[in-house]
Amino acid sequence: MSTCKKLATGVFRNWKTAFGLLVLIILVPSVNAQFKTRIYNIHYATPFSQQVIYNQQIFNTTDLSFGGNICIGNKYINTILEYNFHRMDVKHVSNTPVKYVKIHEILFGLRYYNARPTFLVGNAAFRLTAGLSGGFDLDLQTRSEYFVGFAITGIKEPSGILIQGYYHRSANPTQGYQIKPYFGLRLGFVIGPSTS
């Protein structure tokens, strides 16, 4: 099976991905005709506790994760296009043929992000950000998460730092490893917003 045919089959097999893409196509033009705000995020993420199922057994594991996204929207709602890289440590998993499992994921989503600060602490502006995203990895397995946190910047400076908690839903088996649901913390940088 060719790569393109495999990709198409995987996307249409996973109705959540297809539905998410459809929602973005329908919703984006109706939110605001001048959907021009651009915000970029670069982040590092770490799970609080992560487990995988392999050969019908549950094992504890760790995950090194980093990625970035571009958020396009108006002063309240953004669409998200995100890439994340995961290196899952499976050295302690019994009978595993590898030490690490590398996962590349592409996510699409929506988030709330108010251009006006939610509250101020001294000269620091805190902006609430929350949303959901879903997509697939290069094995064409669906992946999704929910997140909430704050972007912290200067009052007049649009760039700053990002602190988010997230919940990663159970993922379909990737390279034979099924990832159980887990909570984690994401730290990163906010670049923007810029407008065109």
Express each pLDDT in 109-144 by its tens digit.
889 988 788 999 998 999 999 999 988 888 888 889
| Phi, psi for residue 21 in degrees, rounded to 5 | -60, -40
What would the mean pLDDT of 56-66 be, rounded to a whole number? 90
Query: Tokens 């839903």 identify what position?
Result: 169
Q: Spell out the domain ranges in the chain.
A: 3-194
pLDDT recorded at residue 73: 78
Residue 111 half-sphere exposure, CB side, CA atoms within 13 Å?
Answer: 33
d(CA 154, CA 161): 10
What Rg value do the Cα atoms of the chain yield, rounded? 18
31-52 pLDDT per residue, tens? 444 445 678 899 999 898 889 8
Instruction: Supply the angle between the helices 15-31 and 3-13 in degrees, to the nearest 10.
Output: 80
Residue 38 half-sphere exposure, CB side, CA atoms within 13 Å?
Answer: 4
Could you please state the CATH topology (level 3) that the domain comprising 3-194 is classified under.
Porin (2.40.160)
Amino acid at 62: T
> Other CB atoms closer than 10 Å to residue 105's CB: what's the count?
25
Q: Looking at the predicted structure, is the pLDDT value of residue 29 above 90?
A: no
143-171 pLDDT per residue, tens? 899 999 999 998 877 789 999 999 998 77
Angle formed at CA 184 by CA 145 and CA 10, multiple of 5 degrees = 30
